[in-house]
C-alpha cells in the first residue's frame, strides 16, 4: 500500500513538472498538486501507523 502512495506522489510531481500553463489551463496542474499532497500525507500517516502498531505493549 505504501508503494501505491509513492506512485501518487511521484505521478503528481511528474505532472507538475511537465505542465505548460498554470491552474485553469487544462494541463492537470490542480490534480497534480492534489495527488502530490495526498500521496505524501498518506505515506507519512501510513508510516506512523505502522511504527505505532509494532510497538510492544506493556
pLDDT above 80 for 58? no
The full set of domain ranges for the chain reads: 2-53
Q: How does residue 52 score in pLDDT terms, banded at 50, 70 and 90?
A: confident
pLDDT at residue 23, rounded to an integer? 79
Q: How does residue 2 score in pLDDT terms, banded at 50, 70 and 90?
A: low
Burial of residue 23, with CB atoms counted within 10 A of its CB: 0-12 exposed, 13-18 middle, 19 or more buried: exposed
The span from the CA of 34 to the CA of 12, in Å, is 8
Average pLDDT over residues 25-36: 80
Amino acid at each position: 500500500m505504501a508503494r501505491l502512495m509513492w506512485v501518487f506522489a511521484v505521478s503528481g510531481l511528474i505532472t507538475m513538472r511537465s505542465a505548460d500553463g498554470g491552474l485553469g489551463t487544462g494541463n492537470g496542474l490542480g490534480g497534480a498538486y492534489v495527488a502530490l499532497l495526498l500521496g505524501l500525507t498518506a505515506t507519512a500517516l501510513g508510516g506512523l501507523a505502522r511504527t505505532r502498531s509494532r510497538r510492544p505493549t506493556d
